[in-house]
Amino acid sequence: MKEVVYLDRLSYWQKKIFIISWFAYALAYLGRANLAIALPKMINTLNLSKTNAGLIGSFFFWAYAIGQLVNGYIGDKVNSRYFVFCSLLISALINLLVGFTSNLVFIIILWTLNGFTLSMLWGPLIKTLSHWFSKEKRDSVAVKIATSITGGYLLTWGFIGWIIGITSWRWAFWSPAIILGTYSFIWFYKIKPYPEQIGLKGPEDVFNKDNLSKQNNLISTKNLILSEKLIFVALTCMSQGLIREGIILWGPTFLYTTFKLNQKSIVLFSLFIPFISLMGIIGSGYINKLFKSEKLSIIFFLGSGAAFLIILLLTLGINIYINVILLSFTVAAMYGANTLLLTLIPLKYTKQNMVSSIAGFLDFNSYLGAAFSGVLIGYIIDISRWSIVIIIWLIVAIFGIISTSISLNSKNNSQ
């Protein structure tokens, strides 16, 4: 009887921890994805070139990438409760300040700080979940937590798009500030990073905190990355990050410049992108079971994305519905790869207490690629055509397939 009561209590807390973590990451997108939907109005109101507007996104991604590397390592050393709380609260303050400025330099500085601040989230969240769920459940949990990304985009683009439609672009930053600030305190008072804090036992294959700290001294992040050939996986992360974030950042602007849509129509069509991308995240679990290999599944998603980009190139500007669907399916394919790269692979390093470090390293490379998608695409749009952008995305997708194949062969050879 006691065992049944214990299991019920454990199940209750696992669901609670997951929900709190899911909303923490989903709501964080209010404070970062809001830029994409606000960008068309900001370009007109502040008289920005697309290259300058792209700088805002690029500096964010550079800071986010570097922050993933730094904060992923720190995230394994500190309490996730405080780390995530600081990330959400500081991001709220930064968004508040962005809404009050019209100076491009100040906006870039603030948004760069926002990138570094929000990089404190993913690694510690994955680490928290690894302490609550057994190895058998982690694949399922990894896919489910990844849906918070799509949930965040749907919430952000729908809510922020509506806000901008009835107010100004400034409320695209003030509204998230209020919501993030509020949720940071909900996280702080409700989350429990370790089951032991409430008298529960952690998963049987996870060491306790004392053993974790000892194990962490046995192997460095650098040695682990080299021994596991993760450098090739990192190059794949860079490839899908450039394509995924490039489409998400510039998607609304693409619709505005190519089809001359108004703000309301931009929002409605843009919502297709995160909605359909959910298929990639959910599908990653099924595809991975089919191939029984994360890396083969990643190649499948990158190949699918490349195919969608080829069709998009051939139908560019012909029909808005076809173009939006193809963009959406491309993002869905990249998110399928992203889920496997940034959740399932890091969770393999739970016993080494390096989940946050590996997640941070891979996410660093993902957003290193994303950093190029901001100013590079903005510059290309200013001097050339969208077709050139799509060709670049296609080449990058092929590069990702090659790097994943090398990683797969290297692992097979080492075995």
**For the chain, percent helix, then strand, then coil, each to nearest 5?**
85, 0, 15
Distance separating alpha carbons of residues 337 and 348, to the nearest angstrom? 16
The residue ranges of every structural domain in the chain are 2-414
Dihedral, CA atoms, 210, 216, 217, 223, nearest 10 degrees? 170
Contacts of 78 (CB under 8 A, 6+ apart): 124
Contacts of 136 (CB under 8 A, 6+ apart): none
Of 60-69, 240-249, 405-414, which gets the smallest average pLDDT?
405-414
Asked if 65 contacts 367 with a C-beta cutoff of 8 angstroms, the reply is yes
* Mean of pLDDT values over 9-14: 84
Q: DSSP letter string over 202-228?
A: PPTTS--HHHHHHHHTTS-HHHHHHHT
1.10.10.10, 1.20.1250.20, 3.40.50.300, 2.40.30.10: CATH of 2-414: 1.20.1250.20
Nearest to 327 by CA among 268, 256, 252: 252
pLDDT winner (highest mean) among 94-103, 148-157, 361-370: 94-103
pTM, two decimals, is: 0.73
pLDDT single digits (tens) 166-212: 888 899 999 999 999 999 999 999 998 888 877 777 665 444 444 44
Compute the mean pLDDT over every residue in the chain, rounded to the nearest whole number.
Answer: 83
Distance separating alpha carbons of residues 263 and 195, to the nearest angstrom? 47
pLDDT at 256: 79
Three-state SS at 271: coil
Output the six-digit token pair for 270: 């843009």
Asked if 352 contacts 215 with a C-beta cutoff of 8 angstroms, the reply is yes
Asked if 237 contacts 362 with a C-beta cutoff of 8 angstroms, the reply is yes
Three-state SS at 182: helix
* Mean of pLDDT values over 284-298: 85
pLDDT-derived band of residue 2, with 50, 70 and 90 as boundaries? low
Over 90: is that where the pLDDT of 31 sits? yes
Asked if 23 contacts 238 with a C-beta cutoff of 8 angstroms, the reply is no
Asked if 343 contacts 140 with a C-beta cutoff of 8 angstroms, the reply is no
Q: How many CB atoms lie within 10 A of CB 49?
A: 14
* Mean of pLDDT values over 241-245: 90
Nearest to 127 by CA among 203, 188, 28: 203
pLDDT at 208: 46
pLDDT at 399: 95
